[in-house]
Structure 1
Amino acid sequence: MKNLFKSYYGSFQGLRKEIWLLAVITLINRAGTMVIPFLSLYLTKSRGFTLEEVGWILTFFGLGSVTGSWLGGRLTDLIGHYKTMAISLIVSSVLFVLLQFPESFWPICLGIYLVMTVADIFRPAVFVAISAYSKPENRTRSVTLIRLAINLGFSAGPAVGGLIIATSGYSGLFWIDGITCLAAGLLLLRLLHPKRSAPEPEDIVVQAKSAMTDGIYMVFIVAMMIFGFIFIQYFSTMPLYYAEVHDLNEFEIGLLLGLNGLFIFLFEMPLIKFLENKNFSATAYVILGTLLTGISFLVINLTGWVGILVVGMLLVTIGEMIGFPFSNSFALNRSDGKKRGSYMALYSIAFSVSHIFGHNTGMQLIDNFGFKFTWYTMFALAILTCVLLFVLKGLLKKESDGAPIH
């Protein structure tokens, strides 16, 4: 047991203080984002929208995310990650509180679009901040620590959020979102300063090359779009499956979603430390993570036993634990010597595009063909993503061998 604890503790060593501060800020921000996992339930139960209407409303969620990610990349390259993150946190704190007041379809669409635009300005900036404050050899673990903070907040958020809904309704969630965003923004201004950034290695010369002209990176981005499309079902359509097919209430759904964050908090950092010491590429790990995520949908269709929901959640969690840190690390390493804001914006946009099409398509598939067909479709898309990632591995090998990439 002592050796196990030492190994766990050792997986956190070597990270800079600024990465820890960034993790604390991210934890406070993420702990309050309770509205997002319950958004589909809020729109159907509290506002009375149909599944089709919810699908279109969530499309505006994705459109806002794309706009915010693009704008965040531009702002990061223009004014830096520090100011960009501060603007996002403080302005989104106000917008989250205001989001509870619209009642009809179009005002809600506009409100969600504005909230996600401002909130997702943060995403490219925080990725660039990770690169700025960490050493190259510690980037994957630095990314993992930030994810750890996100998921620690997420493990508590849905559970507490479900309890708040059960006792006082949905309104309190919007206030908590706003207050925690403001607190995170004030801590950022107080504790984290851009002068603490780690200097770039002297042999790196920043070029004008943008992500859109990097053919290999674009293959990676397409794969991430599909992976994101699959993954987000667990936080939009899957809660409906829990409620409608297995009769779980909001508190039980919150606990099940919270299991995802708790499992990541306990095991992701030592797992990443262990995998980093193995002789496998980042793309190989992303393939493994994608495959496990696809299998999580497949097993849910095999039985009506309620315990399979826990099995599915654990499978998608392990897939997420492996896939996301190494995909993020791949994007950061690919952006070395180039416009990092551009590269990390495109990485964020990949998942934002998933929000545009994923929520709506998932809702429409369920509405027209049922849950079982939808989960089989997600498994098939996971296999397609793995094929694209194998193509990516081949292109990377050609590049390293000096062959021209067309």
Structure 2
Amino acid sequence: MRRFLSDTVGGLPRTFWTLFTALLVNRIGAFGMLLLPTYLTTARGTTLAMAGLITGGYGAGGAIGTLTGGVLADRWGRKRTYLLGTSASAILMLALGFAGPLWLIALLAILLGLTHMLPSPAMVAAIVDVTPEADRPRAFNLQFWAFNMGSAVAAALAGIVAEFSFFALFVADASMTAITALLILFWVPETLPTRSTTGPRPGLGRVLTDRVFMAFVGLTFVLALLTAQGVSTVQLAMAADGLRPAVYGLVVSLGGAMIVLGQLFVPKLVGHRRHGRVLAFSFTLLAFGFASVAFADLAWVYLGAAVIWTLGQMFAAPANASVIAELAPWHMRARYQGVFNLVFPAAFFVAPAVGGWSLQTLGAWHWIVCGVLGLAGGWGHLAASAARESRLDRERAALSVAEPVAA
């Protein structure tokens, strides 16, 4: 056990652990938006369509927030951007608890989406800033674990708090977010690297024209699209098979439990294997997991499929984050992270819309198509890994000549 803990959590810098704690605290208190649709339909009496529209506004704000956060974190600093996002989120969440008119709730939902996503590129960039390259897979694996652990606790507590008061739900969320801001304010230094530069700084256009990185983003969109099937389309298939919503809840909770209990073992399993091969393997697991839903009609078959695709997600998480850290230039780390983060809200918008139509039109063949898409994504990572590794070798050689100094 001592050796396992040393290999898993040993040697990481103190700033990383503060960021880890801040993320965990923030996710444990993420009550408000989790139950926003329920609040709107039960406490405010809105229609399902209106609740969906307002909740969708949160996602739209998040897309703007992740790009804005990337630019600010590279230009203004990681710490300032993180503090701006968390402080504004705490105030807006408290305002949401007092909001009366639906138009105001809708506006606050959009603004909360923006401020909630604003710190994300800054946090990941800060982890890259302070963590040596060899330790980054472990750091990102722990980050993924903290996110899912906090989300699992929040899901368990949110319903209990809501039974007492929805207003208390928003107050608790705002309080936990404020604690996150205090952790960053007092215990996280500014980590933005500094180096003398001449000429104008490149903007988002540089990121969007980076072919190697955008190919990786495209492949990650496939991953996000498949992952979103487990949240949206799978429950439609289970309902068509006559399974109760509680069974779908069991499928979702199984995936969360696997990540919480097993994610810390992932770095030991993947070791020093190339990221391209790890990602290809994870895509293969996703492919077989979702393709097997085509033959599912009983609860235990769905649970088995969930085990397979969750394993794929677990292997992909640290490898994905490590590839971004390797491809992003030191002075554009947050911008690259901001563009990368866009794939998830985009996928969670496309998946329900296209997935529902595809399931209705193709039936069980929809899941075979998902399997083929996953296998194609795995092959794509194998094909693209050579270009990524060649670029990494060149950048390492350049960094050995002039290493940036942390501020």
TM-score by length of 2: 0.80
SS of match in other structure, 1:14: coil
| Counterpart in the other structure of 1:287 | 280
| 8 Å contact kept, 2:296–2:302 | no
CA distance in 2, matches of 1:329, 1:155: 24
The match for 1:272 among 267, 272, 276 is 267
Q: Residue deviations 1:88-129, cap 9 Å, x none?
A: 112112323444677888665544322111100111111101
SS of match in other structure, 1:339: helix
Unaligned segments of structure 1, at least 5 residues: none
The match for 1:174 among 149, 170, 175 is 170
| Counterpart in the other structure of 1:96 | 93
| Counterpart in the other structure of 1:187 | 183
1:266 and 1:41, CA in 2 relative to 1: closer, same or farther beyond 3 A?
A: same
Q: Residue deviations 1:46-83, cap 9 Å, x none?
A: 75544x76665554343222201110011101211111
Q: How does 1:111-126 map to 2 (within 5 A)?
A: 111-126=108-123
Q: How does 1:71-110 map to 2 (within 5 A)?
A: 71-99=68-96, 109-110=106-107
CA distance in 2, matches of 1:315, 1:54: 33
Deviation of residue 398 (structure 1)?
A: 6.8
| Counterpart in the other structure of 1:393 | 385
Counterpart residue type for residue 347 of structure 1: F
1:44 and 1:274, CA in 2 relative to 1: closer, same or farther beyond 3 A?
A: same
The match for 1:318 among 301, 311, 321 is 311
Deviation of residue 172 (structure 1)?
A: 4.7
Q: Residue deviations 1:172-210, cap 9 Å, x none?
A: 54333222212211222122222xx497899xxx98583
| Counterpart in the other structure of 1:383 | 375
| Counterpart in the other structure of 1:347 | 340
| Counterpart in the other structure of 1:33 | 30
Unaligned segments of structure 2, at least 5 residues: 395-407
1:261 and 1:362, CA in 2 relative to 1: closer, same or farther beyond 3 A?
A: same
| Counterpart in the other structure of 2:212 | 216
CA distance in 2, matches of 1:115, 1:258: 26
SS of match in other structure, 2:111: helix
Counterpart residue type for residue 215 of structure 2: V
Identity %: 21
1:140 partnered with 2:137: yes
1:334 partnered with 2:334: no
Looking at both structures, which has the greater relative contact order when contacts are Cα pairs under 8 Å and sequence separation is at least 6?
Answer: 1
| 8 Å contact kept, 2:18–2:183 | no
Q: Residue deviations 1:235-288, cap 9 Å, x none?
A: 455567667853234xx76665444333223322222133123xx321221222
| 8 Å contact kept, 1:41–1:240 | no
| 8 Å contact kept, 1:161–1:254 | no
* Number of residue pairs aligned between Structure 1 and Structure 2: 387
